Structure 1
Amino acid sequence: MNDQVRIAIQGVKASFHEEAAYKYFGREIETIECDSFKKTCEMLKQGKADYVVMAIENSIAGSILPNYNLLRDYRFHIIGEVHLNIQQHLLALPGVKLADIQFVESHPIAIRQCDEFLSDHPEWIVKEGMDTAACAKKILDDKLTHTAAIASEAAAQLYGLTILEKRIETNKKNSTRFLILSNELEEQKNANKASLSFQTSHSIGALASVLQCFAEQNVNLSKIQSMPVVGRRNEYDFYVDVEWKKQADYDAAIRKVLKHTVNFSIMGEYIKNEKI
């Protein structure tokens, strides 16, 4: 019987999602490859996975907005987070030279992370793929001699590809934040960070009043993201991440915020993962 924890990831073996799963859970896990973020959520909902590791923001490309919609629709519990330093490389089949390359393929976010490098090669046709590692695997499987993939060193090793150019990401402090999602509420002892969602009234200063509640209680607002409410003009869901040193400050802030918001939800309380 397999007692390994099952983690649904978007992408294939050696993807950054698998790397993030290993960093959070350790290597004694089973990763379930999915071709979309929605599929990872379905696996968790159906009990075919124990957790989902989901990228939510990148330091270069910004927030991954469609994933906020998935968080809203599936209402999973956020039980943790992990930051991964992202290093992108240009990979090709052994023997292929830079001059041979006509096509470059990778995940859209990875492509955006390497804008400057790609702009130096306007002759290349850049194509979007499902996942960084999947694009690397495709080069091996289809023996593509004129195509390079943007992916990790782990992908190069796993699929037997050569690194033509190392560290092609625009910003060398390129990092991605991943959320750990569970269908069950798992209380995290010593939690010092929370992800919240809410709506406010249309009155002037409504959002400012909410943010003031956190400031008054020494609760730090580390992220705020707004998303349009589907089908309702000029209405927004706000997603905020907050951090605190004293639990009592956070509890007091939440009591205050409840008076200024509607559809308030604590999406998860967890331990902050320090950036690399």
Structure 2
Amino acid sequence: MKRIAIQGIAGSFHEDAARKYFEDEVEVVECKTFTTVCEKIDNDEVDFAVMAIENSIAGSLLNNYQLIRDYHLRIIGEIYIHISMNLLVNEGVQSSDIEHIHSHPIALQQCMEYIEQFYPNAQLHEKLDTAASSKLVAKEKLRNAASIANLRSAELYGLSVLDTGIETNKKNYTRFLILSKHGNPTTGTNKASVCFEVGHFYGALARVLNTFAENEINLTKIQSVPKIGKPNEYTFHVDIEWEKGENYDRAIHQVLKSASSLSILGEYTKGNLHNQ
């Protein structure tokens, strides 16, 4: 059985991503922080890890880019999970009883229109993740509170679903990376995540990006991450896709001539979108 490290607890979207990606029975190892997740892989305590890297509404998790580099982890896959939020309560609790709503701060933000319309006077409580908020409501048998989480949390912690699909944006997805201590072989892959630095002169970044275009490499994401302790210096993270492996190989060799540094964080197969 594969051991998978996740940030958060059972019932979280990280666990959902782990189970859907591996498609078989896994043992989820719960971690309080993303740093702990990386330490688990580094110390060979788990086989893989699942780490959120970006959300279509909240944007990128910049610190996670840094962690992947610091721990020299390899990206071996990705999965996109549709984020659907639900209002969960203990059995018998009615809408009129709700005075408190618990959830992750981003989840609360994603459901703010619903909250303001139906529970404008409710006190909002930020928790480490959506599943932890559900576990709290269930464990303490709160009769005047609800949590916002996925349906898996309701199942795990015995909560009733008072309302479904309460998120403001119905096309909200989170991209999760699958991490390992060792990378995939290049053969058979069609996507890569790389990071590089360029010199401080005009056209330096454009030269690298044009190299990808000239080799028919599709650039799907570019993210600048500030270098800690070095003002005005950045590392550029890009995701690229290709149809012909030889084009990718040629582009990487050419980029090496233009970039001051280049690291391949992982080569893998492009992920699919998964609904809950």
Fold shared, TM-score > 0.5 on shorter chain: yes
Per-residue deviation, 1:151 = 0.4
Matches within 5 A, 1:183-194: 183-187=181-185, 189-194=187-192
Match of 1:116 in 2: 113
Paired with 1:145 and 1:75, the residues of 2 have a C-alpha distance of 46
Q: Give me the whole-angstrom Cα distance separating, in 2, the residues matched to 1:268 and 1:216.
A: 22
Shift of residue 40, structure 1, vs aligned partner: 1.0
Deviation sequence 1:93-145 (CA, Å, 0-9, x none): 11112222222221223223223223333312222211111110111111222
Find the aligned partners of 1:145 and 1:190 in 2 and give their Cα distance: 53
CA contact (8 A) 1:8 1:33 kept: yes
Quick one: which of 187, 194, 199 aligns to 1:201?
199
SS of 1:169's equivalent in the other structure is: coil
Contact in 1 for aligned 2:86/2:162 (Cα 8 Å):
yes
Alignment of 1:172-191 (within 5 A): 172-187=170-185, 189-191=187-189
Q: CA deviation at 1:84?
A: 1.1
Equivalent in the alignment of 1:244 = 242
Provide the residue aligned with 1:136 in structure 2. Answer: 134
Cα deviation, residue 92, structure 1:
1.2
Give the TM-score normalised by the residue count of structure 2.
Answer: 0.95
Which of 61, 64, 67 does residue 67 from structure 1 map onto? Answer: 64
Distance 2:69 2:49 in 1: 15
1:21-75 deviations in whole A, cap 9, x for unaligned?
A: 1111123111111111111111111111110000111112111222112112112
Task: Report the equivalent of 1:267.
Answer: 265
Once the two structures are overlaid, the 10-residue window that deviates more, 190-199 or 122-131, is: 122-131
Query: In structure 1, what is the Cα distance between the partners aligned to 2:220 and 2:15?
Result: 26
**How many corresponding residue pairs?**
273
1:18 matched to 2:15: yes
Structure 2: runs of 5+ lacking an equivalent: none
3-state DSSP class of the match of 1:18? helix
Q: Residue 115 of structure 2: SS of its match in structure 1?
A: helix
Question: Do structure 1's residue 159 and structure 2's residue 160 form an aligned pair?
Answer: no
Per-residue CA shift, 1:163-193, capped at 9, x if unaligned? 1221011111111111000012332541000
* Mean Cα deviation higher: 144-153 or 184-193: 184-193
Within 5 Å, which residues of 2 pair with 1:96-111? Answer: 96-111=93-108
1:78 aligned partner, one-letter code: I
Which secondary structure does the structure 2 equivalent of 1:135 belong to?
A: helix
Q: Which amino acid aligns with 2:57?
A: I
Deviates more, 1:6-15 or 1:122-131: 122-131
What corresponds to 1:169 in structure 2?
167
Q: Find out whether 1:80 has 2:104 as its counterpart.
A: no
Q: Cα RMSD between the aligned structures?
A: 1.4
Which letter does structure 2 place at the counterpart of 1:176? T
Partner SS for 1:150 = strand
- The answer to whether the 8 Å contact 1:57/1:63 transfers is yes
User: Contact 1:217–1:252 (CA<8 Å) still a contact in 2?
Assistant: yes
Question: Distance in 2 between the 1:116 and 1:204 partners?
Answer: 44
Distance 1:205 1:117, change over 3 A: farther
TM-score (norm 1): 0.95
Alignment of 1:43-58 (within 5 A): 43-58=40-55
